Chains A and B, each alone.
Chain A
């Protein structure tokens, strides 16, 4: 069976559902001619608002559903519905508000909702793009197999360096001890490390190697090759970390903003009826 993306799930079932929902919402909004013009307080306004609020609760439920491994609809189906029905909220909420905005908690909820939805769009983009990049980057390796190889290379390099001058030995030891992968958000997302200790050791070996003669020179040559391989592996792991970080990053906005949206939604609904 061909791999199905979350957008194509079940022959675009939820795309069709979302299109229908949007068409219905627009139809009802256009059909209704409430006295004083459309706003959130007309019956159509209340209706769209209720549908929107229930939809938000259902979309939030995905955060719980995805942690469960049972259910009749597979998680991919839930995700597909989550994405498409999330899009309908833009229309439903905008029509509920009747295009009215202001400096208030109601518009705060609206803006948070838009932020959650658009961060979700980025999430969909990332989920469709990054996994391929992840696989292309690692090939047959895994992150831990690469880390194992790196530590093996470190061990070999240290042993080789034991017989070489102190400066080279120290550079090799520093390369083993001070090499960091990832780090801060910026470093993880960048996927490179300009202060990489291994890269520094490689540069040092290039310079010092010229002063060596005889067996030391050939040992140094072998050592240099080892460090270059380690550098390649490091680059691959760092790219892997960067891709993983990109996969995760948008959730740091999407998830907290959606929980904040829940709070704003509660405040919005309570305030509207508190001061009816």
Chain B
């Protein structure tokens, strides 16, 4: 069989270029193999792809094995080769043409899909860098940038500046600007957590006092004196000291710096004030335990009552022993009472501090000592022990004097034997009345007896035996002047100090340690006069209290460990002249 074979290639412009040749073979085979009569050197063609058989004009092509002939995209195993027929073998397109004279068959072939070269092929299928995977740093960066700006800047600003938006978000559980909250609010303000605008009223302006005063409008100033309040705090915003967003604890400063700003040089701080403030007697205070005396806490000045008015007080340095005398108008020797084996109503006994000084309910201080509860058991007020166990009432000279007169009038009238006291010319006994009616003369004599007797017994009671033991007793001027209704004696009103350091705070319960005893601070056993003040000095505080710098075995203490911010111990705002520092018993 003789076959004309035409290889078609294309010029640059796409025109076909035909190269003709002939093949002469019996049943020629088309394939990749070198032995094939019609040879296609392309790996996509099978080694033996197809064979051609038949005579001129009736040739057929048959696929070999699993190879395929494709006609218009359809597989064909066997194919009549009539002129005009086109079919594909691998990447080649074959066309049957009119055979020239002398040939049984004419076939043209053209390589439609050349093999790609290796480099391009590998490159096309490979992604050789992270950038090539389509993930771009730039787009990630823009995404992050705009998401963060939108959520954490645009949204909160829009919310804060647009009333409509604020109204919409007001009831939400979470506010758009919550991400701006730098820290938890103090517990009294926590209900404002989602309402930033309640305090942050104007953008780019610090929180104003107006916003604070909306709730705290009736708050008094920090100091009682309005001039001082204005001078000290007039230009200071509340929020400068009351720092918020610092956690649930109260936004109150506890640092010594706040106090030291003025109190380190208090005279200079008050130099521009008028009146009493400019002449302050306050001393400078620095660190509690500073090494140099000029800047550490000065020694205590105890507030002592001098009377007669309740506000008549003086402040006396503890080192000024001569002036450091309590004027309570009471006589009480602590040492005598603390002696072991005192004679008591039930035999010998030894008193302790707690026998009289009972802690109050909070154990911060003590219940006031009272005559009835603490003294009367031993110091009875009997006036006629042979006849009666009655005692004169305590606390009122008039009541006691009245009781004595009434008692002896009754003695006289009822003819009670009380002749333990020599009454001289005055007769005790009222002569027996025959009609049981006392005559005017008898009544006058009986009354004279009673007054005389009461006077005698009272003098003994008040001036020698009982009252005078503890009290400052004098003969009454009114009685000496002839006022018969007045009691013959006066007792100076007793003033028992409640606190000698009314500007300081001291909690006895907090100072109860395993080792501590009353006598560690209060040397009562050595005190013989009630004028002694048994308050420990600041040096004994310093045995346990350090300043703001920690020291081994000592408690770090700032100003407000003992003092309130311009408050006295009871929490009241300090007034320039404290009205009362103690209780007064008449």
Residues of A within 8 A of B (CB): 33, 35-37, 39-41, 100, 102-106, 108, 143, 147-148, 150-152, 154-155, 158, 161-166, 169-170, 172-173, 176-185, 188, 241, 244-245, 248-249, 251-252, 255-260, 262-264, 266-267, 270-276
Contact = CB atoms under 8 A, between A and B. Distances in A.
Interface residues of B, number: 66
The residue in A162, A251, A273 that gathers the most chain B C-beta atoms within 10 A of its C-beta is: A162
9 contacts: A35-B255, A100-B183, A102-B182, A182-B126, A183-B127, A188-B128, A256-B141, A259-B142, A263-B148
Nearest to A40: B182
Given A260-B141, A267-B152, A248 B180 contact: no
Nearest to A151: B118
Contacts of A273: 204
B394 to A, nearest CB: 55
A35 B203 CA distance: 25
B179 A105 contact: yes
Contacts of A169: 32, 43, 47
A169 B115 CA distance: 14
Interface in B136-166: 137, 140-149, 152-153, 156-157, 160
Contacts of B118: 150-152, 154-155, 176
A252 B130 contact: yes
The residue in A150, A154, A166, A178 that gathers the most chain B C-beta atoms within 10 A of its C-beta is: A166
Given A35-B253, A154-B118, A267 B33 contact: no
Given A147-B119, A271-B156, A180 B125 contact: yes
The residue in A161, A255, A259 that gathers the most chain B C-beta atoms within 10 A of its C-beta is: A259
Given A166-B65, A276-B205, A276-B207, 19 more contacts: A33-B255, A35-B241, A36-B253, A39-B243, A39-B246, A102-B182, A102-B183, A162-B32, A179-B122, A257-B144, A259-B141, A260-B145, A263-B149, A264-B152, A271-B156, A274-B200, A274-B203, A275-B160, A276-B204
A183 B157 contact: no
B181 A248 contact: no
Contacts of B157: 270, 274
Sorted nearest first, the 9 A-B pairs with minimum C-beta distance are A151-B118, A260-B144, A259-B141, A256-B140, A263-B148, A275-B200, A181-B126, A267-B152, A267-B153
A259 B241 contact: no
B292 interface: no
Interface string B167-181: 000000000011111
The residue in A36, A173, A183 that gathers the most chain B C-beta atoms within 10 A of its C-beta is: A36
Nearest to A156: B118
B101 interface: no
Nearest to B203: A274
A249 to B, nearest CB: 6
Contacts of A258: 141
Contact of B200 (A41, A248, A260, A276): A276
B270 to A, nearest CB: 21
Nearest to A154: B118
B41 interface: yes
B129 interface: yes
Contact of B255 (A36, A163, A177, A180): A36
A245 B180 CA distance: 38
A260 B160 contact: no
B189 to A, nearest CB: 14
B428 to A, nearest CB: 82
A276 B149 contact: no
B464 to A, nearest CB: 65
Contacts of A182: 126-129, 132
B46 interface: yes
A106 B123 CA distance: 47
B144 A105 contact: no
Contact of A104 (B32, B47, B65, B179): B179
A270 B155 CA distance: 13
A213 to B, nearest CB: 16
Contacts of B160: 274-275
A104 B128 contact: no
Contacts of B65: 166
A266 to B, nearest CB: 6
B577 interface: no
A35 B258 CA distance: 7
Given A252-B130, A260-B141, A151 B122 contact: yes
Contacts of B207: 276
Contacts of A161: 43
A145 to B, nearest CB: 11
B125 A185 contact: no
B181 A102 contact: yes
A245 B42 CA distance: 37
